[in-house]
């Protein structure tokens, strides 16, 4: 046996790790329910100007990415995208949504949408505070 440090993307290794976690989860939780969930907005030129992307799994909506282009910020687009994503997550049986954000990103935005801060990691040198947020449906 040997331990190896890998400093670049390796889809074969990542897939093997994810498969191992899935097998373990299935033993404890039953069949996996993981499905991608993405809601996007495009402008008239079909350019992406915002979106929400994550996964629904075991009644959880795990939000990985929320982004709105600078030109569309403050227009309500972020709220609209989040609301549509949450509607779809609820249709899939989700009872909670969770995400994390950095202090300079959007913690107040998520709190206005009903998310509660449930934890944080304090700021470190060259690293801002990180918040973990949860919303029960």
Query: What pLDDT, on the 0 to 100 scale, is given for residue 33?
Result: 86
Superfamily of domain 32-136: Gcn5-related N-acetyltransferase (GNAT) (3.40.630.30)
Q: What is the dihedral of CA 116, 48, 14, 88, to 10 degrees?
A: 50
Total residue count of the chain as it appears in this document: 137
What is the full per-residue pLDDT of the chain (137 aa) written as tens digits? 999 999 999 999 999 999 999 899 999 998 888 999 999 999 999 999 999 999 999 999 999 999 999 999 999 999 999 999 999 999 999 999 999 999 999 999 999 999 999 999 999 999 999 999 999 99
- Alpha-carbon 119 to chain mean position: 16
Interatomic CA distance for residues 89 and 57, integer angstroms:
10
Q: So where are the chain's domains?
A: 32-136
């Amino acid at each position: 046996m040997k331990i190896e440090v890998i400093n670049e993307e390796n889809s074969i290794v990542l897939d093997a790790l994810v498969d191992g976690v899935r097998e373990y989860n299935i033993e404890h939780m039953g069949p996996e329910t993981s499905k991608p969930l993405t809601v996007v907005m495009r402008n008239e030129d079909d350019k992406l100007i915002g979106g929400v992307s994550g996964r629904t799994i075991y009644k959880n909506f795990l939000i990985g990415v929320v982004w709105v282009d600078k030109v569309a910020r403050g227009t309500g687009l972020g709220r609209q995208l989040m609301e549509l994503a949450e509607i779809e997550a609820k249709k899939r049986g989700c009872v909670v949504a969770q995400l994390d954000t950095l202090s300079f990103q959007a913690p107040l935005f998520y709190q206005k949408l009903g998310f509660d801060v449930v934890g944080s990691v304090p700021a470190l040198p060259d690293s801002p505070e990180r918040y973990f947020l949860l919303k029960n449906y």
